[in-house]
Amino acid sequence: MLQQLVQSTIDRKVAEFHAHELPKFNFDKVSVDSSRNERLKRAIDNAVVRNDKGRQLKMLELPDSDRIRTLAGDIKQHTLDYLDYYLIQFTANVEKRGGQVHFASDGEHAKQIILDIVSSASVKRIIKSKSMVSEEIELAHVMEAAGLDVVETDLGEFIVQIDHDKPSHIVTPIIHKDKESIAKLFSEYFGTPYNDDPEALTAQARVYLRDKFRKADLGMTGGNFLVAETGDVVTVENEGNARQSMTTPRVLISLVGIEKLVPRMLDLSVMLKLLARSATGQTMTIYSSVFGGTRSAGETDGPEAAHVVLIDNGRTEILASEEYRETLRCIRCGACLNACPIYRKIGGHSYGSVYPGPIGALITPLMQGLEQYKDLPNASSLCGACYEACPVKINIPKHLINLRRDVVKREINHPVERLIYRAYAWAMGRPWRYRLASWGQKTTLRLIGHKGFVRRLPFPGGGWTQVRDMPEPAKKTFRQLWQNKK
Ligand code: SF4
């Protein structure tokens, strides 16, 4: 009875969710709103600062973490430079072990492949473990819309699913939520009394999910790495739900981006040294699962049919550009998010994509189009903390500057912005022009200022004063003071 009630609530909420049109991405508005949300900032700050400190301490345990990061970056770069070769090797090895590899050119193609597998295997109940790629293509929504009983089994993703929310961090999807809001959600969803004890909340989810695990026909996983020489998919996690998703159901689908390959098991050991340390400040995650192929005769666990769906979805375009290719090295550890002062202020939802933070500001425009996400390369102070944190040494600040250059070159920035920079270039061309411009600027700002501050700059500078104090300029300019001194 309780099950039926919960299921009908899911169905109703899912229908409402699909009927609701998602707003267009407006970085300016969302980031300003988020930066004013003190509760959000507190929740994010607590978790990311903890993870960032944990990373720094764990890295000290390695004999020479900088060289290991260089090695990891080199391994990923080599794999990307010869990706065609390693994709063929991986495919052959999966097939040798009874699995099937499918190539999907984009999100729609991947969804179609997966729905075809689901239909040919007469699947009704699906358990899903955490996968950023499936978030990227919004797979769960499509499955729900197709009438399938699909449940996210990672606790954070489960909360995202029942709250019809979006993840706001690559590793910890509900970093923006505090325990009170989760307790309220559980109380409404399960119809049980409010209880904000984290252990009780976890136990409640566990009971619900256990039943789903037992009855599932199909398990879905992502993949942190793919090993070309063996045809294995590798997942790292702390809850054991990915391992259960791959061992319990009769059909298994792993949806993974083509860039996740490493050549050999030996290379995997380098990556595993860095991933957990960078992500959560752990030496290793609780579960590191290496799996491939179907259940062999005599084995009690494992799928009867195993599929790996390798998705492109804009990745080969990045691969083709030598300038930005290294961005595909990313192992989605989230360290750059934790280190980023901008992410800490505005949170993950402000980036308008499943990939937030510095790496999101980079790969979202590259994968989904610079026109739509032209503001994201500016969502950075270029302090370099992300580069310092990155275990595969992606030079994120350099690429963000290059993307800003591309925005200007392609003239997709705001026409007023272009006009301002032309005026600036004109003013900087001659000393008298500079003097004239600074006099005009100083006089205007002093006129509109009040009690030493300009409360709101006129267009196009209004964004600056939305979240900052703007002091009035001094009565005398630096040049005047300098001349008086002489
Ligand atoms: S860019 Fe580097 S630090 Fe950021 S998520 Fe990717 S691997 Fe981690």
With respect to residue 345, please indicate whether it lies within any of the assigned structural domains.
no
Give one DSSP letter per residue of 326-381, joined into a string: GGGG-----HHHHH-HHHHHH-GGGGSSSS-HHHHHHHHHHHH-TTTTTTGGGS--
Distance (Å, whole) CA 20 – CA 304: 38
* 145 and 285 both lie in a single domain: yes
Q: What's 238's domain CATH number?
A: 3.40.50.10420
* 151 and 281 both lie in a single domain: yes
With respect to residue 8, please indicate whether it lies within any of the assigned structural domains.
no
Cα–Cα–Cα angle for 59, 62, 67, rounded to 5 degrees = 90
Instruction: Find the 271 Cα to ligand 1 centroid distance in Å.
Output: 12
With a 6 Å cutoff on the Cβ, whether 334 touches ligand 1 is yes
Residue-level pLDDT at 393: 98
Bridging pattern class, strands 232-237 and 225-227: antiparallel
With a 6 Å cutoff on the Cβ, whether 354 touches ligand 1 is no
Domain ranges, residue 443? 416-485
Instruction: Find the 200 Cα to ligand 1 centroid distance in Å.
Output: 33
* 116 and 227 both lie in a single domain: yes
Instruction: Find the 185 Cα to ligand 1 centroid distance in Å.
Output: 31
With respect to residue 462, please indicate whether it lies within any of the assigned structural domains.
yes
- Number of domains within the chain: 2
- What ligand 1 atom has the least distance to the C-alpha of 334? 5
Residue-level pLDDT at 22: 44
Instruction: Find the 391 Cα to ligand 1 centroid distance in Å.
Output: 7
> Which of 332, 363, 400 has the most ligand 1 atoms within 8 A of CB, as the residue to mutate?
332
* 307 and 423 both lie in a single domain: no
* 155 and 303 both lie in a single domain: yes
Give one DSSP letter per residue of 234-302, joined into a string: EEEESSSHHHHHHHSSSEEEEEEEGGGEES-HHHHHHHHHHHHHHHHS-SS-SEEEEE-SPPPTT-SSS
With respect to residue 17, please indicate whether it lies within any of the assigned structural domains.
no
Ligand 1 atom 3: residue of nearest CA: 390
With a 6 Å cutoff on the Cβ, whether 356 touches ligand 1 is no
Backbone angles phi, psi at 157, to 5 degrees: -70, -35
Bridging pattern class, strands 232-237 and 149-152: unpaired
* 311 and 441 both lie in a single domain: no
Ligand 1 atom 6: residue of nearest CA: 330
With respect to residue 327, please indicate whether it lies within any of the assigned structural domains.
no
Ligand 1 atom 2: residue of nearest CA: 390
Question: What is the 8-class DSSP label of residue 427?
Answer: H
Question: What is the 8-class DSSP label of residue 321?
Answer: -
With respect to residue 324, please indicate whether it lies within any of the assigned structural domains.
no
With a 6 Å cutoff on the Cβ, whether 113 touches ligand 1 is no
With a 6 Å cutoff on the Cβ, whether 390 touches ligand 1 is yes
pLDDT tens for the chain, 486 residues: list them: 444 544 454 445 445 544 444 445 677 777 777 777 777 777 777 889 999 999 999 999 999 999 999 999 999 999 999 999 999 999 999 999 999 999 999 999 999 999 999 999 999 999 999 999 999 999 998 999 999 999 999 999 999 999 999 999 999 999 888 899 999 999 999 999 999 999 999 999 999 999 999 999 999 999 999 999 999 999 999 999 999 999 999 999 999 999 999 999 999 999 999 999 999 999 999 999 999 999 988 888 899 999 999 999 999 999 999 899 999 999 999 999 999 999 998 899 999 999 999 999 999 999 999 999 999 999 999 999 999 999 999 999 999 999 999 999 999 998 988 999 999 999 999 999 999 999 999 999 999 988 899 988 887 788 788 878 889 999 888 888 898 886
With a 6 Å cutoff on the Cβ, whether 336 touches ligand 1 is yes
> Domain ends where: 315, 342, 374?
315
> Domain ends where: 268, 298, 315?
315
Q: Which of 342, 145, 104, 130 is nearest to 237 (CA)?
A: 130
With a 6 Å cutoff on the Cβ, whether 328 touches ligand 1 is no
Distance (Å, whole) CA 467 – CA 464: 7
With respect to residue 402, please indicate whether it lies within any of the assigned structural domains.
no
* 98 and 226 both lie in a single domain: yes
With a 6 Å cutoff on the Cβ, whether 293 touches ligand 1 is no
- What ligand 1 atom has the least distance to the C-alpha of 327? 1
Residue holding tokens 């270029």? 382
Residue-level pLDDT at 32: 75
The pTM of this model reads 0.86
Q: Which of 279, 161, 169, 299 is nearest to 220 (CA)?
A: 161
With respect to residue 376, please indicate whether it lies within any of the assigned structural domains.
no
With a 6 Å cutoff on the Cβ, whether 391 touches ligand 1 is yes
Residue-level pLDDT at 14: 45
Distance (Å, whole) CA 143 – CA 217: 14
Distance (Å, whole) CA 78 – CA 346: 35
Residue-level pLDDT at 25: 67
Ligand 1 atom 8: residue of nearest CA: 333
* 147 and 266 both lie in a single domain: yes
> Domain ends where: 287, 315, 343?
315
Distance (Å, whole) CA 131 – CA 257: 10
* 70 and 193 both lie in a single domain: yes
* 310 and 421 both lie in a single domain: no
Ligand 1 atom 7: residue of nearest CA: 330
